[in-house]
Structure 1
Amino acid sequence: MTTIPTPPPSLAPSQHPSPLPTPRQKPLNPGGTRETELITYLDHNMVSINHRFATRLSTTTSPSADKGYRNFGEAAKDIEDLIDVVWVSGSRTYPSIPFPSLFPH
């Protein structure tokens, strides 16, 4: 069996900036007020995403009705925004409360 040699790792700094936002210097204190606010914010937005996903096939034309996602890109943007908030929070562990499935079967 012949192995293909690989080049050595580059020692040059990356030319591409990280797409991730800069996290906090100190992570949120577990069980603190700000962590509780973060969990509440994430929970509210996950419920909203779940609702928009559930109503994506709705044929309601009422202007006051919530609009469902028209494509996965819209849902991905909302999910990415939440991931960025968690990243910026500097949380090293995830909340230990169970979240309902984001996209139920």
Structure 2
Amino acid sequence: MGSSRAISTPCAIFFLASMAHRVLILLWHTVCCMGDHMQVREWTHFRVRIRPDLHKKIKADAASGYRSINTELTMILEKHFARDEQTKKAPDSALESKSDASTTTL
């Protein structure tokens, strides 16, 4: 009897430790990766040819921001299209400030 306990105790400890490890990994994944900061998106893959000098600039900007090149390019494109949408929605202030003949008094 004494020898069977000696064998089963290390096995039970290993089993419990491995189960605890799996639970911790699941908890970490749930807290860190499923939070509000992580978005699920569908991604489209495509290849693009780019000049080496432009690639170096993008790579350097990505590295300085601790981002991947993919994330850097996505961010650049999102900013571009957001700015483009804002300019389409914003009224042309140059046209609003000009007076026309109907509002001019003599």
Query: Smaller-chain TM-score range?
Result: under 0.3
RCO higher in structure (CA 8 A, sep ≥6) = 1
The structure with more radius of gyration: 2
TM score, norm. by length of structure 2:
0.27
TM score, norm. by length of structure 1:
0.27
